[in-house]
Chain A
């Protein structure tokens, strides 16, 4: 990589290497991002910042550690003792957690400094990050458009070069969809990889933390740092982790044992490409990506996964069901929003929750309560669980045939601000390509491909469970031959 690349356009791994090798000053790098984070404030991607006065100095103390004192942002559903954790909700406005999330702890231990907490859809429910309490996140490529969600703040912060990396969470696409909308790389690891301790739950059996950064290489580097067993989360698998980064490094170094294009058999789903909601520009971008892979020798296989037809329906039963229960603890009794002058216990519950939760959260709590209620449980929840198993079976079959499955991340590019309120089902359709990976617990990534009408487009790789390395390596391989991931909204602004 050229040394002339401005600090803001350098990837996390380039910054770390530069600092470790003494070519870059940790405090200078830190201050450069802090300045940009404050300069780009109006995109509303941050809900709060750390006290930025001392951050650059703090960075110097960590320059020899794996994250070299880089300023990193956490999505505001990761518990931090240093800053409030609101989940983008009035319900938790000003809430101070008594402990750090496991990912927050491992990030700090690796020598990152906490830049701030990023905006999001309330309790991670949504695909636009148009937060009803704290305002919408603006897409750095065009402030008239949404950043996607629910990790819109994290994606926008990385796209706007306010931080080299931000954490995010993915329950139905919340890492990948905003990454696609904002033109950055977002990785959702295999379910159970990074501990959920301290990540405020939306739907426990789907929620998975992961990074949003400029490149797959950055995601891999960071993933290895925070991916570790955790006794506090029994759904976090206990086996020792194998680092993914060496496989990607081998590609960078063109080593003999490195993954090659002609070793890849990639599945694709013709029925998805025929999806009526699929934007022509996105379809074109997909065809182009496929062609780029094929040109280098990768094989493509058309797949039919019939159960995926029901994925969206199953997800919007199971996730709200879990959410309705997970969010019961916000009752105004011990923490969070409490209504004024409650007249009775019931009044306390009703008004605290009525005032504290936004519309979409209420809608999902009600949906979830309904599908779990007596007389409907078998018809909805149980059926959806069966579909979930069928989807897992379909994927298991597919991955006997192919290494990875390539799809567009989203049917469309970012939509204009305010349009999300129109029709919830249309918005839920945003997740149609991302949800299957959550239902089956698969690792999946969204990476920038050829843009459409000046707005970023994201492609998605899905891999078999625990094939995180392959998902990351194939994406890195692609990013060594293309420059889509280098496109920067800052360059666009300066050109304009």
Chain B
């Protein structure tokens, strides 16, 4: 039988607000446990929540970017259940009237344009974290995460492949960073996702029994987990078994999903409107303001890079997928000029990103916090273009800056002077070096002259190498090549 896969996603985006959704405690990952939890987060008697306006703003911003309908009035509900990391005994969420409904996410998979419809997105507070295994017989609770603002984005069951699902998540990852509403750090849980998976015979309209896979926090895991789960569904059905609607957990070490709880074990959450909060009002003025200040998004940037800067589709994609790269790129062009777009793109892709990766560094959101500042790279490109240094020396300078960054905008010039890296284009001096090398290596000269023309090109490498050694790499390679060619020519029969 031919099976069709049906997938829907619930993506949790942790909003990058300064404080929590309902308290003024810092919204910060990685601090000392319970240092960012105030009386409100601890659910102390007599405390009350106050909605963080910035979180509402951020949610509305994403809604507008996705052409969703931002609700003029939404409200919070309580989801009641007991758990030690849920201090109040209920989670404040939006069950009935979410912050936005509808919306479409567009993205490419292998060059094919995809569109996924959103059902809605709602604001809610995160729970704390239980930490096991510190003291035998006890569990620790860290409430730093309790009350952190989350935006849960629920898609329609529009996905048909695991690859689509992960591409969608990548697209969302890009978008939240462009909109500056989340750091998108998946390892720290800023973007995580549950997948609802079912299969049905091709042509069947009704959905099959679905299972929900919880807490997928990497692009790779989401793809692997869904693929595993689809295969499991098909296997169960084809061997005459029945699927159970349940929640499952993905184990990346074993690459398998395991049953967590069945539908029957599910809590009755006793949702009801949160009586401590008034409805959330989004005024038209805020909508207008958000629309007016909407940043240029990845799709628009990519188009502009291709049309106005003449970059290839590939280069443009690479530069725009991560907003930090795009910002860096644009900062380089701001000094170097748009005609250096291709050179800047090359430097960023090979030297910058490669160099960061080698050093296990991440590209900072602020381009000026990069080890090689954009203005420095722009200057480096200029010096190469003007033959002040060779490309090779340029890469050396780039590496030097990567290892020991410098504040000065003209750091490249300073390094050239300090290390005396200025390229030697003095024809007379270089002629002397060529003569010396030719004289000192008569065997190679003879071999060269005896060799067929097609092999000679490769053999000149030896002489260039010797010359570079003699000049500490500072000889202008163009001039040097020219002089060497002339010299060898003159030795011909």
> Complex: how many Å from CA A330 to CA B46?
12
Does B237 belong to the interface (CB within 8 Å)? no
Contact across chains for B45 and A85 when beta carbons are under 8 A apart: yes
Closest chain B residue to A348, Cβ basis: B84
Contact across chains for A204 and B276 when beta carbons are under 8 A apart: yes
A contact residues around B48 at 8 Å (CB) = 196-197, 232-235
Q: Could you give, for residues 313-334 of chain A, a 1 whenever the CB lies within 8 Å of some chain B CB and a 0 otherwise?
A: 0000000011011001111011
**Given known contacts A325-B78, A325-B90, A329-B89, A200 and B46 CB-to-CB distance under 8 angstroms:** yes
B contact residues around A369 at 8 Å (CB) = 270
Residues in chain A within 8 A of chain B (CB atoms): 77-79, 85, 87, 92, 95, 97-99, 101, 196-201, 203-205, 231-235, 321-322, 324-325, 328-331, 333-335, 345, 349, 369, 372-374, 377, 381
B contact residues around A196 at 8 Å (CB) = 48
Contact across chains for B39 and A99 when beta carbons are under 8 A apart: yes
A contact residues around B277 at 8 Å (CB) = 234-235
Contact across chains for B45 and A87 when beta carbons are under 8 A apart: yes
> Complex: how many Å from CA A369 to CA B271?
11
Q: A235-B48, A369-B270 are in contact. List 4 more A-B contacts (CB 8 A).
A: A199-B46, A328-B88, A330-B45, A345-B84
Closest 8 CB pairs of A and B: A328-B89, A372-B270, A204-B275, A205-B275, A329-B43, A198-B46, A200-B45, A79-B46
> Complex: how many Å from CA A372 to CA B87?
20
> Complex: how many Å from CA A4 to CA B84?
61
A contact residues around B47 at 8 Å (CB) = 197
Q: Which listed residue (B87, B88, B272) contacts A377, Cβ 8 A?
A: B272
**Given known contacts A98-B44, A232-B50, A334-B42, A329 and B87 CB-to-CB distance under 8 angstroms:** yes
Does B29 belong to the interface (CB within 8 Å)? no
Number of interface residues of B (CB under 8 A): 28
Closest chain A residue to B39, Cβ basis: A98
> Complex: how many Å from CA A197 to CA B23?
13
Closest chain B residue to A207, Cβ basis: B275
**Given known contacts A98-B39, A233-B48, A372-B80, A329 and B88 CB-to-CB distance under 8 angstroms:** yes
Contact across chains for A328 and B45 when beta carbons are under 8 A apart: no
Does B207 belong to the interface (CB within 8 Å)? no
Residues of B235-281 whose CB lies within 8 A of A = 268, 270-272, 275-278
Contact across chains for B268 and A325 when beta carbons are under 8 A apart: no
> Complex: how many Å from CA A373 to CA B275?
17
A contact residues around B468 at 8 Å (CB) = none
A contact residues around B306 at 8 Å (CB) = none
A194 to chain B, nearest CB (A): 13
> Complex: how many Å from CA A98 to CA B47?
11
Does B64 belong to the interface (CB within 8 Å)? no
B contact residues around A85 at 8 Å (CB) = 45-46
A contact residues around B80 at 8 Å (CB) = 324-325, 328, 372
Q: Which listed residue (B90, B271, B278) contacts A234, Cβ 8 A?
A: B278
B contact residues around A329 at 8 Å (CB) = 43-45, 87-89
Contact across chains for B45 and A95 when beta carbons are under 8 A apart: yes
Residues of B309-364 whose CB lies within 8 A of A = none
B316 to chain A, nearest CB (A): 46
- Give 20 pairs: A residue, B residue, CB < 8 Å, sorted on A: A79-B45, A79-B46, A87-B45, A92-B45, A98-B44, A196-B48, A204-B276, A205-B275, A234-B50, A235-B275, A235-B278, A325-B89, A325-B270, A328-B80, A329-B89, A331-B89, A334-B87, A335-B45, A369-B270, A377-B270
**Given known contacts A325-B270, A328-B88, A373-B270, A333 and B141 CB-to-CB distance under 8 angstroms:** yes
Closest chain B residue to A334, Cβ basis: B42
Q: Which listed residue (B44, B50, B51, B275) contacts A322, Cβ 8 A?
A: B275
A147 to chain B, nearest CB (A): 24
Residues of B269-301 whose CB lies within 8 A of A = 270-272, 275-278
> Complex: how many Å from CA A231 to CA B45?
18
**Given known contacts A234-B50, A329-B89, A331-B82, A374 and B268 CB-to-CB distance under 8 angstroms:** yes
A contact residues around B42 at 8 Å (CB) = 334-335
A76 to chain B, nearest CB (A): 11
Residues of B86-124 whose CB lies within 8 A of A = 87-90
Closest chain A residue to B143, Cβ basis: A334
Closest chain B residue to A100, Cβ basis: B46
> Complex: how many Å from CA A377 to CA B77?
14
Closest chain A residue to B42, Cβ basis: A334
A92 to chain B, nearest CB (A): 7
A contact residues around B39 at 8 Å (CB) = 98-99
> Complex: how many Å from CA A333 to CA B275?
24
Contact across chains for B44 and A328 when beta carbons are under 8 A apart: no
B contact residues around A232 at 8 Å (CB) = 48, 50
B contact residues around A99 at 8 Å (CB) = 39, 46
Closest chain A residue to B84, Cβ basis: A333
A75 to chain B, nearest CB (A): 12
A171 to chain B, nearest CB (A): 12
> Complex: how many Å from CA A423 to CA B267?
33
> Complex: how many Å from CA A328 to CA B276?
15
> Complex: how many Å from CA A200 to CA B278?
19
A contact residues around B276 at 8 Å (CB) = 201, 204, 234-235
Contact across chains for A234 and B51 when beta carbons are under 8 A apart: yes
Closest chain B residue to A332, Cβ basis: B84
Closest chain B residue to A368, Cβ basis: B270
A338 to chain B, nearest CB (A): 12
> Complex: how many Å from CA A234 to CA B92?
15
B contact residues around A374 at 8 Å (CB) = 268, 270
Q: Could you give, for residues 125-166 of chain B, a 1 whenever the CB lies within 8 Å of some chain A CB and a 0 otherwise?
A: 000000000000000010000000000000000000000000
Interface-centre pick from B45, B49, B272, B277 (highest chain A CB count, 10 A): B45
A contact residues around B44 at 8 Å (CB) = 97-98, 329, 335
> Complex: how many Å from CA A471 to CA B275?
26
Residues of B54-97 whose CB lies within 8 A of A = 78, 80, 82, 84, 87-90
A361 to chain B, nearest CB (A): 14
B453 to chain A, nearest CB (A): 84
Q: Which listed residue (A77, A200, A349, A381) contacts B272, Cβ 8 A?
A: A381
A contact residues around B270 at 8 Å (CB) = 324-325, 369, 372-374, 377
B222 to chain A, nearest CB (A): 31
> Complex: how many Å from CA A233 to CA B276?
8
B contact residues around A235 at 8 Å (CB) = 48, 275-278
> Complex: how many Å from CA A87 to CA B45?
10
> Complex: how many Å from CA A95 to CA B46?
12
B243 to chain A, nearest CB (A): 23
A184 to chain B, nearest CB (A): 26
B268 to chain A, nearest CB (A): 5
> Complex: how many Å from CA A336 to CA B337?
66
> Complex: how many Å from CA A83 to CA B435?
97
B360 to chain A, nearest CB (A): 39
Q: Which listed residue (B43, B50, B268, B275) contacts A334, Cβ 8 A?
A: B43
B contact residues around A330 at 8 Å (CB) = 45
> Complex: how many Å from CA A261 to CA B275?
39
Interface-centre pick from B44, B46, B271, B278 (highest chain A CB count, 10 A): B46
A contact residues around B141 at 8 Å (CB) = 333
A contact residues around B84 at 8 Å (CB) = 331, 333, 345
A195 to chain B, nearest CB (A): 9
> Complex: how many Å from CA A286 to CA B215?
64
